[in-house]
Amino acid sequence: MDSSKRYVIKRDVPRKYLVNYQADLNQEQYAVVTAGRGPQLVIAGAGSGKTRVVTYRVARLLESGVAASRLLLVTFTNKAAREMLSRVEALVQSDVRKIWGGTFHSIANRVLRRNAPSIGYQANFTILDSEDAKDLVDAAIQEAGIDPKAKRFPKAEVVGGLISFANNTDAPIRDCIVKNYPQFEPLATQIERVDRLYQARKLERNAMDYDDLLLNWKRLLLEKKEISDYWAEQFEYILVDEYQDTNKVQAEIIDLLGVKHRNVMVVGDDAQSIFGWRGAHFQNIYEFKERYPDAQEFHLETNYRSRPEIVMLANASIKQNRKQFPKNLRAIRKSTGLSPALIPAHDLEQQAAFVASRILELREEGVKLDEIAVLYRSHYHALELQLELTRRDIPFVVRSGIRFFEQAHIKDVVCYLRLIVNPHDEIAWKRVLKLIPQVGSATANRIWERLAYTDEPLALIRRDDFAAAPRSREGWRDFVKLIEQLISPENLDKPASQIGLILAHGYDDYLQNTYENADLRAEDLRQLANYAARFNSTEECLSELALINTERFATPQGTTAEDVVEGGAEDEDEKLVLSSIHQAKGLEWRAVFLIWAADGKFPSARSLRDAESEEEERRLFYVAITRAQDELYICYPLVVTDYSRQTVIQKPSRFITENPRELFEIWSLEEQAPELEEPNTTRLIN
């Protein structure tokens, strides 16, 4: 006879909330934040307080008794997750560090560090950045015996991009070639072989690229029932931000994690889905209710960002798209009587002159430069403007600038750390070995061949009978001494100390002998060491640095200088922002200039080939105009000169002409006659 007694823990007890949710939120937001259990779809219009809703939802769950460790918050940047959780902590006045918050890739990294051995990897696997992955693809091409010149085989970067696109869209490589790379269709069999060799090399080297983090996470959930059950039980509530930008693999992972509790809340705006070219699956947000028929649907339509005239144009524009969740944004801010300005300029030079001139006027009216942005569809659209801004001494920053982490000197030093953490990292070894004086590619390859087949590469290189070529003996001895210091007990798992040692023991001399700006590069490394000091281990530091590359939706980019340099003197000079629209998503400015709004340029000529691409371009236009809070200026040149010096007449973008004319105020530009004497010019002084 069973003598056990069943006891049920009662959680439905009256609670006193610290946060006055009803006072802090509007009715639309309050309904989302206080929703009960089960799946939920939240369509959050531009400027409707989406971040506030997600933050308050997490706070409400915590105050309702949900354990922090049972919450999964997935965002598209780790910075966004940190900011949200910091706000949650301030609201509920308790520690939120046990919440699983971050990007898909960062959460995948944490899960795989625990479970990677179940699929054949070691827990100390290396995360390959885009350049590393390209090098490994190149090696796979060589191993396959392919002569790129003879057969016009695509370069490693192109093959890597094709493989990545196939992974992100969860489609066979051959299908992706036929649909997106038809010129490579005769080479499809060879490309498939390169992919197989590339995958094998990664597994042999205990390395994963960015796509592998997601694919292997999904594989764990599909193939390992015990592991899948564990994580499905762990995450009682799942919240996904920017759901419209998820790809098929990411959506499948969420479904697998939510299979038990089904408390999945996805938040997004279908009208701001603009990353289809990068593998985002536009259908995810539309198919959510097909996968969760019982899902509650909420709409956030109160816009707190923009003036009514801007909101009216946004509503009218996006209504032209056939595929969408119907929505009608309502502006909460008062009208100023200023309609969006439409500015036809004679040519590119006049367009640039107008933008620069109006920016100076706004500055005199009290609008700071960093509260103004110039947005464009393609990077080359800003070339003439950059010249004009330089001529007028208007300081500006281009948001899609030089990558910090992809610079050679940063990668060199990080590769030292990588081979300490993962001694079988082929790419790290080959890069570091070639930094030794008198060691070239051939010697580095020979040394690696000896290291590749030993269990303890770091022990092997310290043996007296293991030496490099005679010409490099002195440099080899210095290299071995440095490795011994890096793995010594006092420096092991202290990435800041390790970077300092690398710089002090030969690399500073290498910089001086290699680069004209050696001092600036050395300062970069010192700042990198300062950044690394926050981590508890070298492995943790490397994971964070690698994962920063996944936080932007374009091709993976490296850490920017702003990401690394913290606590130093800040640049007090305000700067105008120049940005592609894709990079501007999620941001806002008091005044926005949209340039090159001409048909064939925006929308791009390529997008006009099919209705789906044109609708994505219209969503991009919607994103651009909803970045503006107070003033919006839409510009286009009437004529341009092409590469053959022919004059081409430009038409305004169809995204302009398809909207009622009364939504715009049309400005006519006139040129001021030049002064005979030097006038007292107004200059921007910082």
Residue 624 and residue 375 in contact, taking contact as beta carbons nearer than 8 Å: yes
Catalytic annotation present for 411: no
Catalytic annotation present for 494: no
Catalytic annotation present for 241: yes
Active-site residue, selected from the candidate residues 28, 29, 50, 544: 50
Catalytic annotation present for 242: yes
3-state secondary structure of 479: helix
Catalytic annotation present for 16: no
Active-site residue, selected from the candidate residues 252, 627, 629, 631: 627
For the chain, how long is the longest CA-to-CA vector?
Answer: 110
Active-site residue, selected from the candidate residues 75, 126, 244, 272: 272
Q: CB-side exposure of 192: number of CA atoms within 13 Å?
A: 13
3-state secondary structure of 557: coil
Tokens of 233: 């039980």
Catalytic annotation present for 650: no
Give the span between the Cα atoms of 600 and 439, in whole angstroms: 51
Nearest to residue 155, comparing CAs of 139, 138, 167, 172?
138
Tokens of 104: 């898909």
Tokens of 353: 């002159």
Active-site residue, selected from the candidate residues 51, 199, 302, 454: 51
Q: Where are the beta strands (DSSP E) in 391-451?
A: 396-398
Tokens of 554: 């374009």
Distances (CA, A) of 249 to 229, 255, 478, 572, 665: 19, 10, 46, 43, 45
In which residue are the tokens 């051995």 written? 117
Nearest to residue 51, comparing CAs of 96, 97, 83?
83
Active-site residue, selected from the candidate residues 131, 138, 242, 388: 242
Give the span between the Cα atoms of 684 and 675, in whole angstroms: 20
Residue 369 and residue 572 in contact, taking contact as beta carbons nearer than 8 Å: no
Give 146's contacts (C-beta < 8 A, 6+ positions apart).
153, 190, 194
Give 514's contacts (C-beta < 8 A, 6+ positions apart).
none
Alpha helices in 93-209 (DSSP H): 104-115, 130-143, 148-151, 156-169, 173-180, 188-204
Residue 376 and residue 594 in contact, taking contact as beta carbons nearer than 8 Å: yes
Distances (CA, A) of 332 to 26, 200, 335, 629: 11, 56, 9, 12
Active-site residue, selected from the candidate residues 129, 138, 195, 241: 241
Question: What single-letter amino acid sits at 211?
Answer: D
For 225-290, give the DSSP string: HHHHHHHHHH-SEEEESSGGG--HHHHHHHHHHTTTT--EEEEE-GGG---GGGT--THHHHHHHH
Give the span between the Cα atoms of 559 and 546, in whole angstroms: 8
**Catalytic positions:** 50-51, 241-242, 272, 627
